[in-house]
Amino acid sequence: MQAEIIVLPGDGIGPEVTAAAVQVLRAVGQRYGHSFHFTEKLIGGAAIDATGEPLPADTLAAARAADAVLLGAVGGPKWSDPGAKVRPEQGLLAIRKALGLYANLRPVKPHSAALGASPIKPHLLTGVDLLVVRELTGGIYFGRKERHGDRASDLCEYTVAEIERTIRRACTLARARRGHVTSVDKANVLETSRLWREVATRVVQQEFADVRLEHQLVDSMAMHLLAKPREYDVIVTENMFGDILTDEASMLAGSLGLLPSASLGEGRVGLYEPIHGSAPDIAGRGIANPYATILSAAMLLRHSLELESEARCIEKAVDGALGAGVFTADLAPAGRGVSTQTATAAVLEQLELECQPVAMRD
């Protein structure tokens, strides 16, 4: 297979972790006989510095023409003025909207070797395997924003069509898992949540009778996610709730540095990124955790390129590296973490064990 992959390193540790993921993708391509072509483009603060825009036109054009997009992170103190008219995060929101990437998939499956890094008791984490589907292009993040004197407002708005497609995506994914969907809202207070619950109920009843649906209020879900995470399979929710809950879910895995994500629309092109931020405090020090970005590359292979065996190969390689105790600073006891490149090298070593060479395949 030949594939064009656009790489958006972004800011902070973004260039370091995307470089690691590209190394792994090149190794997988060579081992399985694929030709992956990588082109770097600007986004976020780096793009603002170079062009004055968080999402330059040539970046968006390249992303639209590509098979997939791999992104690092955006933002940092240099561009953190809340009153600034141009901010790095605008680039991320804009590319999601422009590519129609309405569903953000964030899997959470704690690794047994890393349970000690989580503040949650290990017996609560064993067997956890959940997937959060977050609506990505609607809601309060994209609504009208106003400020007048001592007042400000942010409009949260959803259409039936936006909710339907997100629920359908979640249910389709649940069918390939354990068939259980938990829809999260705030229907006791918010009108958008009442619409969300009505639409979710109708779609499941009419189109996914084989899927078990339950509803949870977002505040109670925040508690249940930590108290009984094993009970959940696919969790689907709106944009802001999903943003908050998935950061909370990182505590189940032990670190944001272990959680990948995929942003998908109706077409082939998807955007793949770790859920962590740009971590400017450690940028350039060579100690960032590359595992989440490498796992995001596995999701890229699965969802955009339909290379399931290759995706599983990367996931097994990361499992192997963690199982061997190759922990970066966010996972290891103080002062004992390995470098970004050491962690990447451990994954590449595991690939040699987990990936069947192309010459040995049928």
Find residue 236's DSSP bridge partners. 133, 183
Q: How many residues does the chain have?
A: 362
Distance between CA atoms of residues 47 and 79, nearest Å: 11
Structure tokens at 60: 């968006």
* 225 burial type by CB count under 10 A (0-12 exposed, 13-18 middle, 19+ buried): buried
Domains with residue ranges and CATH for the chain: 1-114+256-362 (3.40.718.10), 119-253 (3.40.718.10)
- H helices then E strands: how many in the chain? 12, 12
Spans of the chain below 70 pLDDT: 358-362
Catalytic residues: 141, 186, 219, 243, 247
The per-residue pLDDT for 362 is 45
Does the pTM of the predicted model rise above 0.85? yes
Ramachandran region, residue 75 (left: φ > 0; alpha: ψ -120 to 50; beta: rest): left
